[in-house]
Amino acid sequence: MRDVWLAGAGVPERKARVRGCWISPSRGGQAIFHFEGCDTISDAESLVGLEVQVPLAERAPLPRGRHYVSDLTGCEVWQRKPSGAAPQCLGPVRGVEFPGGTPLLVVDGPSGEVLIPLAEEICVLIDPAARRIEVVLPDGLLELNR
C-alpha cells in the first residue's frame, strides 16, 4: 500500500492510503483507485473530481523512453533541419493531449499552438533535465497546425 494526497478545488488536501489501483479498459484507460476506508459507492462519489497526487520524489521510475507529462511541460522544442542548418526553436511545451493513439505535445509556437505527435520517429531527443526536446517534423506538419 502507498500513501497519496487527494486535492481539489475548494477541498482541503488530505492523505489517503491506496488499497489497490488498476487501469480500466471499459473506462477509456482511466486509473481506478480503491482507497482504505472508502468501501461504498457514496464514499467513492465524494471523491469524484479530486486529483490523486504523489510527491515528485516518490514517483515510480518509468522505463527508458517514457516520461511524465510534468517533466515534458516547459521543455523547449527545437526542430532539426534535414539540411544540417541550425535547429529552430518552435516554443515551449504547454502540455500533452491524449486523443487516443499517439499523445500530442502542445507547443506554444510564435504563430500559435502547434500539436506534435509524441512519437520516437518525430521526437528524436527528449532531455527533460536539459529542458529540451528535438524533433524532425514530417513535411507539412507545421502548415497543418495553422
CATH number, residue 91: 2.30.30.240
Q: What is the pLDDT of residues 105-127, one digit of tens each?
A: 999 998 899 999 999 999 999 99
Q: Name the domain boundary from 16, 39, 58.
A: 58
Is the same domain home to 97 and 52?
A: no
Q: How many domains would you assign to the chain?
A: 2
Q: Nine-digit cell at 30? A: 482511466
Provide the domain limits for residue 97. Answer: 69-144
Is the same domain home to 46 and 77?
A: no
Is the same domain home to 86 and 46?
A: no
DSSP-derived secondary structure letter, 39: -
E-strand spans in 11-136? Answer: 11-24, 30-35, 51-53, 76-79, 88-97, 104-109, 112-117, 123-127, 132-135
pTM over 0.85: no
Q: What is the pLDDT of residues 58-83, one digit of tens each?
A: 888 899 889 999 999 999 999 998 77
Is the same domain home to 51 and 90?
A: no
